[in-house]
Structure 1
Amino acid sequence: MELTLQIKKDLALTNKLLSQGMVSTRDPETGFRYIICASCPNDGGDGTVSRIDRKDNVVERVLFCCSTCGKEFVVKPEDIFLT
């Protein structure tokens, strides 16, 4: 069985997730679980969630960690994608 990585850029869904205090969601039609990710601004490496700052159950800030350089970074919601 071959697995295909699904990448989705959806600002409305990203904002909805963050406002609900979440960083992942499951597609009800396919069952695929999406989690927010971002590209490192330094080298373009894949960034995965490393820390989440919440206030009143709303995600205020997500820190991502680059798989290439190992540095943490923050991006705007419009630069976040789901994979």
Structure 2
Amino acid sequence: MESIDSKCTPLKHEFDACFTRWYSEKFLQGDKTNECEEAFKKYQTCLRAALKEKGLTKMIGEARPTVGSAFADDDGDDGGSKGSK
């Protein structure tokens, strides 16, 4: 499956492969060590930039108004969901 932005697709594939390998070979055997954190962070950084570039962070912030949303901008702008009434 492709990512929302083509430049993020290789990072998505890297994370997907890592997760699948970890889940089947480690997690199901009881090892809960997070081996894919770096791959996830790289993909998440790319996604954040792509969502911001496409003007989607505000929409996501409004749809997911929970504190600490994974898609909040690095500058603290979560699309206006915090404190807006």
TM range (shorter): under 0.3
More helix by share: 2
Using structure 1 for the length normalisation, give the TM-score. Answer: 0.23
Using structure 2 for the length normalisation, give the TM-score. Answer: 0.22
Of the two, which has the highest radius of gyration?
2
Which gives a bigger RCO, structure 1 or 2 (Cα 8 Å, sep 6+)?
Answer: 1
